[in-house]
Amino acid sequence: MTRRELLSLLFSLGAREFGRVLPAQDTKPKSDPVFQVKSPKGVDFVLRNSPTSRKYLIETMPGGVALLDYNNDGLLDVFFVNGGNVRDTMATPINFDRRNPAYWNRLYRQNPDGTFTDVTEQAGLAHAGDANYGMGVAVGDYDNDGFPDIYVTNFGKNILYHNNGDGTFTDVTAKAGVAAGGWSVSAGFFDYDNDGRLDLFVTRYLDWSVEKSKTCGSERATYCPPGTFPAITNVLYHNRGDGTFEDVSIASGIAAKKGHGLGVAFADYDGDGFTDIFVANDATDQFLFHNNGNGTFTECGLDAGAGLSESGRMPSGMGVVFQDYDNDGLPDLLVTQLPHDPYVIFHNDGRGLFSAQELEAGFGVLSGSVSGWGVGLEDFDNDGWKDAFIVQGHVFDNVETYDDSLRYREPPLLALNRAGRFERANPGSDLPVAGRGAAFGDLNNDGWMDVVTTSLGEAPQFYFNRRGQFHWLTITLHGKRSNRDGFGARVQVNGQTRFATAAGSYLSSNDKRLHFGLGSAETADIEIRWPSGIRQVLRGVKADQFIVIEESVQP
Amino acid sequence: MIHALLWMCLLLPPQSAEPSVPGDALPLLQSGIDAENRGAFDEAVAAFRKAAELAPNTAIVFLRLGDAYMKEHDYAAAIPPLKHAAELSPDSPAVHQLLGYALLAAGYAADAVSHLKMINDPAALGIAQLQAGQAAEAVANLQAALAKSPDDPDLLFYLSRAATALAGQSLDRLRAVDPNSARGHQALGQTDYEMKKLPEAAKEYEQALAMRPDLPGLRLELGQVFAAGSEWAKAEEQFRGEAKLQPGSAEAAYRLGNALLQQGKMKEAAEELKRSDSLSPGMPETLYALGKAAAISEPDAAAHALERVIELEKDTPLAGQAYLVLAQIHRRQGKAEQAARDTENYRKIQALTAHPPS
């Protein structure tokens, strides 16, 4: 008798087996809240996704949030990507009503008193194109002028806003040649060829259009699974250094693989000095694009052990973060996904190999029945171990009518890292939302990491860290030979490692500053390996401060 | 099954209790039979209808008409002439057999039962009883039919259906007669579980356990409720209780091992899964879980377990998953070529069993 036969026999006796995992019941942590959830004065953004009875798939996928200091005043500002106006019947040409202020993307400038001012219009960011339904945002100083630029992804055409340095932005998409097209999702700036200029990677989800849209479900209409629509390639743009980019998707090998790309994150996982790319794919193998160092990439997710979850199944990958969670100096991957299996941890075993270890890391207990999107690995309690924060909510806005054990709106997951194993903690809010984007940064410059999240049809949530006793250090990199943002640098502080990037999460862009919790240590030793190859060491740096480290000119 | 039985029956010449056919109807009857033999059922029906008008009291004519309709698969149309034949010839087994089949095929299972009881065809009777909600009787008749044809796939299928229906009816009865007994709470818990109402299910099982803490299976089911909600620590507690109660249960040991595995307690999980494997060797899921649990601490034992999964499962998705874990073990052991072969084998199985993105 096989197991299945045994189960079949037991079926009639009541010991039934379900093919899917159902939600956790005991999800309320008993610890003190790590965050205080507040709505800062001046932020009146609402993510308008415009759900319809036609269940256009784009409706359930936005929207991104970025934490950036666009005016270099030392305070983080917040940029939100809005969806658009979708109606049951969409006439051609498609119009998402993005000229209507209700559907604008929004930039909020932080004031010294912690309030925010909507500067969208004066910054020149008010109109996002009527044919564009908003998705995500990437931030990076692509022209090395010291001011962060903004790239907005859309279903439609993407937009690159150049930061003019005077509080305004200019749409330079046409000149730069980075509109992409189709359905772009997450994006990120990184320097894949170490030429000191930030390149741009864009994930694309599906070969989908309003005209090709389908509705799934039998009794009740739902959004169709990704396999309903053809897979599509991601896009890689090489920065020429003259304000234009070249689409090198085919030449680089990126376009050799079609998938259902959603999240993207960057790190040099094999220590060869070149930044690699991980794409979280929905319901297909995950993509790990190894940077060959010659302008080309080889997709090796499955062969490197980073293609499938510990269960051996294809994750419905949504968001991803590429950082070192167990302080072994190697970047690991945390991929969020839909209910069926736990969120996936691909542990970097060294020698260019990964192994799925979400169960060992504790995610079998923390997830498996929830839907994760935006994700970060940040040291929220400054104890020297990166913790996980995940914003959650199911894809289907009517999932409860299908499955009473699943929820469209879910509270976020905060999991504190206890020496490589994650344990549920109190995020400070159990308010369920249809969470999507999440960006991480120190909003109030107190040395403790905060979070801003987005949720469909609602105002964003601001999670302000309540702080504690431990020490910290926050580093701003200033590249000279390397790109100005220092993206791609490996920074090690007192045995911890961070890979400099603003990318990761889902649709979102994080504070580019590198934050380290130092525990009880009052000083820090810092070692930086810049993308240029320059190694720089600082010893005995005092804790509890923000420092700027300029790339040394000597190797 | 129904069609096969009907076809077999109709291959036999219908028997009539009334031999006499009026002379003017005989040519029509013969014409109808000839048309039937040619497969021209429309013509046969037309001829038999005319014969029936001329011989309204002759059962064989109506039997032939019903037979022709059934050969056209128009079971509803066959019922009136066959009912008339039964009135004219109430003791004819052939009439009752054909009428029973027609009623069953047309969805009137309860009406079919009384006719099928008059003939010796436990298979058809069992199927009719199953569809009429008489599960216990259906089980008895289908078992009797299977005694004659033990490997008949249709009979095996209907017997499994009937047994499931009987189990459901028994549970319904239990819920009705004593909902506050331990078994009643267990049954309610099962219902809640099936409806994915996990907190309610857990409450029912806990009430059952409070009444009869030593009832085998209760903790296993409660553990599965917790497991379904990813509450693995609680699931572990229940599975541990079940394993203590039933140390010889491979199922309890497997469940406990899996709960430990989900919590990342790999060594403990491996021990429990080995115990399950020793109690009931050759369970692929147990071996797969063992392979995962022991992958780091006992790679050789893990590889052996996974190889057994592949041997048992051949090219199923579980075998594919086993190849992947095996690849991970081989990569860690520095056996790159073997890992590459494992991954390639996974890809081959995936190509067979999945639908990759277009």
A24-72 residue pLDDT tens: 334 555 567 899 999 999 999 999 999 999 999 999 999 999 999 999 9
| Nearest CA among A142, A146, A148, A173 for reference residue A241 | A142
**Among B232, B283, B328, beta carbon nearest to A364:** B232
Give the closest-approach CA distance of A182 to chain B in angstroms.
Answer: 17
- Adjacent-strand bridge partners of A441: A450
3-class SS letters over A216-280:
ECCCCCECCCHHHCCCEECEEEEECCCCCEEECCCCCCHHHCEECEEEEEEECCCCCCCCEEEEE
What pLDDT score does A360 carry? 94
Chain A hits for B251, CB-CB cut-off 8 Å, are 6, 10, 15
Among A72-81, A139-148, A361-370, name the one with the lowest average pLDDT. Answer: A361-370
Tell me whether residues B261 and A311 touch, CB distance under 8 A. no
Beta strand A471-478 with A545-550 is parallel
pLDDT-derived band at A167 (thresholds 50, 70, 90) equals: very high
pLDDT-derived band at A340 (thresholds 50, 70, 90) equals: confident
Q: Please report the ipTM that was assigned to this predicted complex.
A: 0.82
Q: With a CB-CB cutoff of 8 Å, which residues 236-265 of chain B face chain A? A: 250-251, 254, 261-264
What is the average per-residue pLDDT within A114-135?
Answer: 96
pLDDT averaged over every residue in chain A = 92
What pLDDT score does B1 carry? 38
Does the pLDDT value for residue A326 go beyond 90? yes
For A102-124, what is each residue's pLDDT tens digit? 999 999 999 999 999 999 999 99
Does the pLDDT value for residue B143 go beyond 70? yes
| Nearest CA among A531, A546, A554, A539 for reference residue A195 | A531
Chain A hits for B331, CB-CB cut-off 8 Å, are 305, 349, 353, 355
What is the average per-residue pLDDT within B278-292?
Answer: 96
The DSSP symbol for A203 reads E
**Residue in B with minimal Cα distance to A305:** B328
What pLDDT score does B350 carry? 85
What pLDDT score does A30 carry? 56
Backbone torsion region of residue B18, taken as left when φ is above 0, otherwise alpha when ψ lies between -120 and 50, otherwise beta: beta
- Adjacent-strand bridge partners of A305: none
Give the closest-approach CA distance of A31 to chain B in angstroms.
Answer: 18
**Residue in A with minimal Cα distance to B282:** A2
Does the pLDDT value for residue A4 go beyond 70? no
Beta strand A149-155 with A159-163 is antiparallel
For A174-196, what is each residue's pLDDT tens digit? 999 999 999 999 999 999 999 99
Tell me whether residues A25 and B327 touch, CB distance under 8 A. no
Altogether, the residues listed in chain B come to a count of: 358
What pLDDT score does A29 carry? 53
What is the average per-residue pLDDT within A431-438?
Answer: 96
Chain B hits for A10, CB-CB cut-off 8 Å, are 251
pLDDT averaged over every residue in chain B = 90
What is the average per-residue pLDDT within B144-159?
Answer: 92
What is the average per-residue pLDDT within A455-468?
Answer: 96
What pLDDT score does B12 carry? 38
Tally C-beta pairs within 8 A across A and B. Answer: 135
For B35-88, what is each residue's pLDDT tens digit? 999 999 999 999 999 999 999 999 999 999 999 999 999 999 999 999 999 999
| Nearest CA among A197, A475, A363, A261 for reference residue B232 | A363
Does the pLDDT value for residue B34 go beyond 60? yes
**ω into B93 cis (within 30 of 0):** no
For B243-281, what is each residue's pLDDT tens digit? 999 999 999 999 999 999 999 999 999 999 999 999 999
Q: Which of A310, A341, A358 to mutate to test the interface with B (most CBs of B within 10 A)?
A: A310
Does the pLDDT value for residue B16 go beyond 50? no
Q: How far apart, in Å, do the first and last CA atoms of chain B sit?
A: 40
Among A318-327, A396-405, A417-426, B268-277, name the one with the lowest average pLDDT. Answer: A396-405
DSSP assignment of A364-390 equals HHH-SSS-EEEEEEE-TT-SSS-EEEE
| Nearest CA among A89, A237, A188, A273 for reference residue A508 | A188
> Tokens at residue B110, please?
């309860």
Does the pLDDT value for residue B19 go beyond 60? no
Cα(B251)–Cα(B273) distance, integer angstroms:
10
Whole-Å CA distances, A389 to A411, A413, A439, B233: 11, 6, 10, 22
Tell whether B287 lies on the interface with A, counting CB pairs under 8 A. Answer: no
Query: How large a percentage of chain B has pLDDT more than 90?
Result: 80
Among A186-195, A541-550, B149-158, name the one with the lowest average pLDDT. Answer: B149-158
Which residue intervals of B178-231 are DSSP H helices?
182-194, 198-211, 218-228
What pLDDT score does A404 carry? 76
Among A195-209, A359-373, A533-547, name the one with the lowest average pLDDT. Answer: A359-373
> Residues A454, A436: contact at Cβ < 8 Å?
yes
Strands of A184-190's sheet in order across:
A184-190, A199-204, A235-239, A245-247
Tell me whether residues B328 and A259 touch, CB distance under 8 A. no
Cα(A160)–Cα(A67) distance, integer angstroms:
17
> Residues B250, B276: contact at Cβ < 8 Å?
yes
A342 vs B20, residue with greater confidence: A342
Does the pLDDT value for residue B109 go beyond 50? yes
Query: How large a percentage of chain A has pLDDT more than 70?
Result: 94
Tell me whether residues A405 and B343 touch, CB distance under 8 A. no
For A237-288, what is each residue's pLDDT tens digit? 999 999 999 999 999 999 999 999 999 999 999 999 999 999 999 988 899 9
Cα(A117)–Cα(B164) distance, integer angstroms:
66
Please write down the long-range contacts of B131-139, taking CB distance under 8 Å and 24 or more positions apart: B131/B104, B133/B165, B135/B162, B135/B163, B135/B165, B135/B166, B135/B168, B135/B169, B136/B166, B136/B169, B138/B162, B138/B165, B138/B166, B139/B163, B139/B166
Altogether, the residues listed in chain A come to a count of: 555
Tell me whether residues A405 and B228 touch, CB distance under 8 A. yes
What is the average per-residue pLDDT within A206-215?
Answer: 91
Residue with the two structure tokens 């709106």: A409
**Among B186, B234, B250, beta carbon nearest to A14:** B186
Tell me whether residues B196 and A405 touch, CB distance under 8 A. yes
Q: Is A414 helix (H, G, I), strand (E, B) or coil?
A: strand
Does the pLDDT value for residue A20 go beyond 80? no
Residue with the two structure tokens 């969805």: B107
Does the pLDDT value for residue B174 go beyond 90? no
Does the pLDDT value for residue B357 go beyond 70? no
What pLDDT score does B7 carry? 38
Would you tell me how many other CB atoms lie within 10 Å of the CB of residue B105? 21
